[in-house]
Amino acid sequence: MDSRKYLQAFVYFCLLALTLQIISSGRAAERKVWEGFLIIPPNSAEGSLETPPIRIEGSGNLEIRQSAPLQDRWLFTDLALINRSNGDTIHLARELSYYSGTDYDGRWSEGSQRDDALLAEVPPGEYMLQIEAKTEAKPEGLTDHIMLVRDAPFWGNFWLLLIGLFAITLLAAGLAEQKRKRSLYSAPSNR
């Protein structure tokens, strides 16, 4: 089998994986469960928020989305999602940071004003979200927008699958090429 066949098989498997991912993402309910804001006052380095009870229904993942208008600033959040019926707690520590500027190479930026954390399986029930936030104290306050989304689409496994398929394709093509070269050099000669 020559290299083109392996490349062709790789493309077909990628198209199949993409089709399945699009179908899976299209079937994701992506229901907003709760949305709110954590406000850090001007000249303060800390803020906290405790939500009222949040009802999470159905099965599937839960995504915690955060966004804040950061400019040359960081925001660290310590989140605890607490099941009110049994006390089970999921702890997360997340950091957002965004810096930008100009130097001899031109404009640059690093970090992000958004963060998404995906919890694989959160059982249905009544929960409470507690958030402790820290940042650097500045004259302008800071508002962290937080949203909980049930059954969010997930693309991480798709990218891992593509990387795996690519690695397998390279390995198979390399082994086939080695076999072909060995067969050329070990063929009996007609003298």
Domain extent for 19: 1-28+154-180
pLDDT tens digit sequence for 145-174: 999 998 766 655 666 667 777 777 777 777
Count of structural domains, the chain: 2
Tell whether 67 is covered by a domain.
yes
State whether 79 and 93 are in the same domain.
yes
State whether 62 and 103 are in the same domain.
yes
What is this structure's pTM?
0.71
- List the structure tokens of 4: 């083109």
Q: What is the structure's pLDDT at 174?
A: 75
Contacts 24+ apart (CB under 8 A), 151-154: 151/28, 151/29, 151/30, 151/31, 151/58, 151/60, 151/61, 152/28, 152/30, 152/61, 152/62, 152/63, 152/116, 152/118, 153/24, 153/25, 153/28, 153/30, 154/61, 154/118
Q: What is the structure's pLDDT at 71?
A: 94
183, pLDDT greater than 70: yes
Confidence of residue 184 (pLDDT cuts 50, 70, 90): confident
* Interval 122-134 mean pLDDT: 96
Q: What is the structure's pLDDT at 102?
A: 93
State whether 101 and 112 are in the same domain.
yes
Rounded Cα gap, residues 10 and 2, in angstroms: 13
State whether 35 and 100 are in the same domain.
yes
State whether 138 and 158 are in the same domain.
no
pLDDT tens digit sequence for 44-78: 999 999 999 999 998 788 999 999 999 999 999 99
